[in-house]
Amino acid sequence: MFSLARFGAVLFKEFVQMRRDRVTFGMMIGIPIMQLLLFGFAINSDPKNLPTLVEMADTGPVTRAVLKGMETSDYFKFVGTVTSKQESDRALREGSASFVVVIPANFERDAARGLRPDILLSADASDPAAASGAVSAMTGIVQVAINETLTGPLQFAARAPPPFSVSIHRQYNPEGKTATNIVPGLLAIILSMTMVMITAVAIVRETEKGTMEALIATPVRPMEVMLGKIIPYVFVGYVQTFVFLVAARFLFDVPFTGSFLAFFVGFNLYIVVNLALGFLISTLSKSQMQAMQISFFTLLPTILLSGFMFPFAGMPGWAQAIGSAIPATHFLRLTRKVMLKAGSLPDITGDMSAIAFIMFVIVAVALMRYRQTLD
Amino acid sequence: MNAPEMAISVRGLTKVFGDRKVVDDFDMEVPKGAIYGFLGPNGSGKTTTIRMMCGLLTPNGGQGQCLGYDILTESRRIKEHVGYMTQKFSLYEDLTIRENLDFIGRMYRMKDRRKKVDQALLDLGLADRAKQLAGTLSGGWKQRLALAACMLHSPQLLLLDEPTAGVDPKARRDFWDEIRRLSARGVTVLVSTHYMDEAVQCDALAYIAYGKKLISGPAAEIPKMIGLSTWRVDGPDINALEAELRTTPGVGQVARFGAVLHVSGTDAAALDRAVSAQKKRETHNWKRKEAGLEEAFIYLMAGASDNFTEFAGKA
Ligand SMILES: Nc1ncnc2c1ncn2[C@@H]1O[C@H](COP(=O)(O)OP(=O)(O)OP(=O)(O)O)[C@@H](O)[C@H]1O
Ligand SMILES: [Mg+2]
């Protein structure tokens, strides 16, 4: 029979060992913070004074107001003018400019007539972090320019719909990730990285050090060992996530717009699937080194194919197929929905079913491979 | 049904790793309350056999009982009543001495755990170091702690895999006193060892080499069963004599004990002829001697190396 006493003893022992292993413990708390700071600051440093070129086919009060607004926003620094598309493309490609603003011919006249001409803002989005702040500031700048200039006889034109629009053309990175978009993905990666590796190593350590032999020579049940060893790491996952979310909220202003309950449910599922994967890896490895290597091996596709690094929709079919088999892919979508898109439970059932299915497969294989002997 | 007084009774145990038969058709009968010695050279399969007996390895062939429970299907019951001391230190180095004992106690769901742990710490003389991490103990002390740990739940059967390796003579003596006390109380002890002074303390012995049991029986009878006759010789320039004897026909083996040689052979007549030739020179003192366990095992090991070449040829 499953013995709570034995399970409790394994659990307690695991906590004591975790507490004594200061380096690992520090790493478990340190990794999420470090990653967040690295990624977060890279993204949110919100670069100012980015070199900007102007291609001006018209001029007038509205144009001047828009350009002045851009300049005073501090995001854009005008470094010159261009006269052709080839010229501006070259500048963006070379990186001598991060933006090109194109004011089309007859802009002022069309705006006054309500023809809604288009200002084109071409951005070098190959570095989304660099472009995102400026790009999102653009809407506000335009609104201010409209309110300032379209007074008096032109007042009618200030009413919605606005008299002109801004098209933003992101080159080299169509999805144009933003800070807030990367943070949820980062959570998926960090949890996967630490949960899988730590569980795998913790279990293999017993085999490698020989303590597993004495442990399974006692009447302890496999389930007691498995749960006793895994549950402490569920708590580690909780702590990591808590630290991460708090830091994301207060350091980087990442919103949490959706349902906490939905997040909590999905997040527990994700932790368990990663622990199960760690357990599976531990049944495949003979040494802590091997466990570490296999964990790293699984980490690569998690980073590259989950949609964290590259937009999922932009990947070739085979890469999407592999990506779909990775729990992080679904958790990442789930977290983006919940954190950024005000998602609630019904919105994430699809993602959760996918994770649950993957978990089912992993647990089945792990239990098939787990032996209560040394064979 | 097995005779109830057998604590261990296994037949035909076989274990294959890869394409190597590590234990081959192994039989063993250990009566309840006996101290049973398990001997054999390194890599002969002692640890593997012990692991199969307590359900840590699944045999590829064979069957048997431990304490009346089937080793193939009832290993869970066996584990409740067996204390197994692994050859390699297998307590947690990053737990304290007390935490280790306490953990073992919990695994067996002992009711009087705290009292037993305190008593074990006192018996070990480690009561004032209870908070020390087990990993910081010296090798011999680790061994003694592991021993105490596997006896904590008062098992009916002790499987001890080289329990006294690296333990000092005084502690070894204490250990064997304890083993005899337990045995008198009806606890059965199967102990693997490489020490002859420990082998002679056993009621019975089994000798295994390259997975095959070569001989088993009461400790005192084993040399007779092999049929060795032995001479003891000492005197001047013993090195030269040793070298000469090694190539003398009729001499099966020469074992050195300090300044003394034990010369043995299975063919008593041939050995006597060789010895009489030596005696005529009157350079050394020759004395007939009863063959001891030491000679017996040296003989067995020499035989086992033949066994090995045969084995290696097959692999
Ligand atoms: N898990 C394993 N996988 C493969 N081979 C193994 C395994 N365990 C043991 N062996 C091999 O089985 C043989 C017997 O090993 P075992 O540990 O039983 O010997 P032993 O008699 O206990 O030796 P020692 O006196 O050195 O402790 C050895 O050749 C060893 O290499
Ligand atoms: Mg051994």
Q: pLDDT tens digits, residue range B217-238?
A: 998 888 888 888 899 999 888 8
Closest alpha carbon to A123 in A86, A145, A91: A91
Probe residue for ligand 1, chosen from B19, B48, B85, B86 as the CB with the greatest number of ligand atoms within 8 Å: B48
Mean pLDDT for B241-251 is: 87
3-state SS, residue A221: coil
Q: Output the domain CATH number for residue B265.
A: 3.30.70.100
Sheet holding B20-31, edge to edge: B20-31, B6-17, B61-66, B69-70
pLDDT of residue B314: 36
Q: What is the distance of C-alpha A321 from the center of its chain?
A: 20
Q: How far is the CA of A65 from the centre of ligand 1 (A)?
A: 85
Instruction: Check pLDDT > 60 for residue B49.
Output: yes
Q: How many angstroms from the chain centroid is the CA of residue A355?
A: 18
| Segment-wise mean pLDDT, segments of 10 residues, chain A, 375 residues | 90 91 79 75 61 84 82 82 83 76 85 80 67 73 72 54 63 47 81 88 88 92 85 88 84 78 91 91 89 90 84 78 93 84 84 93 84 69
Torsion from C-alpha of A230, A232, A233, A234, nearest 10 degrees: 90
Verify whether the Cβ–Cβ distance A210 to B88 is below 8 Å: yes
Q: What does the pLDDT read at residue B67?
A: 93
Split at pLDDT 50, 70, 90, the class of B313 is: very low
Whether B262 shows a pLDDT value over 80: the answer reads yes
Residue B108 lies in a domain: yes
**Is the per-residue pLDDT at B119 higher than 80?**
yes
Cβ of A219 and B58 within 8 Å?
no
Query: At B126, is the secondary structure helix, strand, or coil?
Result: coil
State the first-to-last Cα distance of chain B, in angstroms, to the nearest integer.
38
| Partner-chain residue, chosen from A214, A216, A375, that has the shortest CB–CB distance to B91 | A214
Q: Is B146 in the pocket of ligand 1 (CB under 6 A)?
A: no
Q: Which of A4, A212, A213 is most worth mutating to test chain B (most B CB atoms within 10 A of its CB)?
A: A213
Helix (H) or strand (E) holding A170: strand A165-171
- Check residue A304 and give its pLDDT: 87
Cβ A104 vs Cβ A118: under 8 Å: yes
Q: How far is it, in rounded angstroms, from Cα A80 to Cα A70?
A: 14
Kindly report the protein residue whose alpha carbon is nearest to atom 7 of ligand 1: B17
pLDDT for A155: 55
Q: Is some CB atom of chain B closer than 8 A to the CB atom of A19?
A: no
B152 falls within a domain: yes
B16 found inside a domain: yes
Interface test with B, best of A23, A211, A372 (most B CBs within 10 A): A211
| Ligand nearest the Cα atom of residue B44 | 1
Q: What percent of chain B has pLDDT over 70?
A: 95
Looking at residue B192, its pLDDT comes to: 96
Options 3.10.105.10, 3.10.129.10, 3.40.190.10, 3.40.1710.10; CATH for A50-171 is 3.40.1710.10
Residue B86 is predicted with a pLDDT of 95
Q: Give yes or no: residues B174 and B277 share one domain.
A: no
Say what the pLDDT of residue A131 is. Answer: 67
- Residue type (1 letter), A126: S
* Residue B171 belongs to domain with CATH number: 3.40.50.300
The pLDDT of B258-276, averaged and rounded, is: 88
B19 lies in the same domain as B141: yes
User: CB distance from A154 to chain B under 8 Å?
Assistant: no
Regarding whether B257 and B158 lie in a shared domain, the answer is: no
Find out whether B124 and B144 touch, Cβ atoms under 8 Å: yes
Statement to judge: residues B188 and B275 lie in one domain: no
Q: In terms of domains, do B44 and B186 share one?
A: yes
What pLDDT sits at residue B248? 86
CA distance B208 to B213: 4
Domain presence at residue B308:
no
Of B221, B249, B278, the residue that ends a domain is B221
- Average pLDDT of every residue of chain B: 88
Nearest CA-CA distance, residue A375 and chain B, Å: 6
Atom of ligand 1 nearest to the CA of B46: 21
| Domain presence at residue B302 | no
- Based on the fold, state whether residues B74 and B120 are members of the same structural domain: yes
Question: Is residue B309 scored above 50 in pLDDT?
Answer: no
Whether B19 is in the pocket of ligand 1, judged by its Cβ within 6 Å, is: no
- Say whether the peptide bond before residue A316 is cis (omega within 30 degrees of 0): no
Closest CA to A92 of A43, A126, A44, A128: A126
Tell me whether residues B80 and A209 touch, CB distance under 8 A. no
Residues B128 and B199 in one domain: yes
CB nearest to A6's CB, from B93, B99, B109:
B109
B102/A97 Cα distance (integer angstroms):
69
Q: Give dist(CA B5, CA A153) in Å, integer.
A: 114
One domain, residues B123 and B270: no
pLDDT band at B306 (very low <50, low <70, confident <90, very high): very low
**Is the minimum distance from the CB of B67 to ligand 1 under 6 angstroms?**
no
Specify whether B90 is located in the same domain as B26.
Answer: yes
Secondary structure in 3-state letters for A323-364 = HHCCHHHHHHHHHHHHHHCCCCHHHHHHHHHHHHHHHHHHHH
| B156 domain-assigned | yes
B43 CA to centre of ligand 2 in angstroms: 7
- Considering the domain architecture, whether residues B147 and B118 belong to the same structural domain is answered as yes
* B12 C-beta closer than 6 A to ligand 1: no
A153 touches chain B (CB under 8 A): no
Domain end point (choices B186, B221, B256): B221
Does the beta carbon of B211 sit less than 6 angstroms from any atom of ligand 1? Answer: no
Do the chains contact at A218 and B108, CB–CB below 8 Å? Answer: yes
Domain ranges in chain A are 50-171, 177-374
**Residue B83 belongs to what domain range?**
6-221
Is there a single domain that holds both residue B80 and residue B155? yes
Expressed in angstroms and rounded, the spacing between residue A226 Cα and the centre of ligand 2 is 28
Is B155 found in the same domain as B259?
Answer: no
**Smallest CA–CA distance from A210 into chain B, residue:** B90
H/E stretch holding A80 reads strand A76-81
- Is there a domain that residue B314 lies in? no
Assess if residue B200 is contained within a domain. yes
Counting ligand 1 atoms within 8 A of each CB, the residue from B23, B42, B47 with the most, and so the one to mutate, is: B47
Give, as residue ranges, everything with CB less than 5 Å from ion ligand 2. B 46-47, 87
As separate numbers, helices (DSSP H) first and strands (DSSP E) second, chain A gives 15, 5
Please report the pLDDT score of residue A311 as a whole number: 66
Q: What is the pLDDT of residue A95?
A: 64
Distance from C-alpha of A185 to C-alpha of B119, rounded to nearest angstrom: 55
Per-residue pLDDT at B115 exceeds 50: yes
Contact A8 B106 (CB under 8 A): yes
User: Which pLDDT score is estimated for A170?
Assistant: 55
Answer with the residue of higher pLDDT: A76 or B96: B96
What is the C-alpha to C-alpha distance for residues B199 and B215, in angstroms, rounded to an integer? Answer: 14
**What φ, ψ does residue B201 adopt, rounded to 5°?**
-80, -10
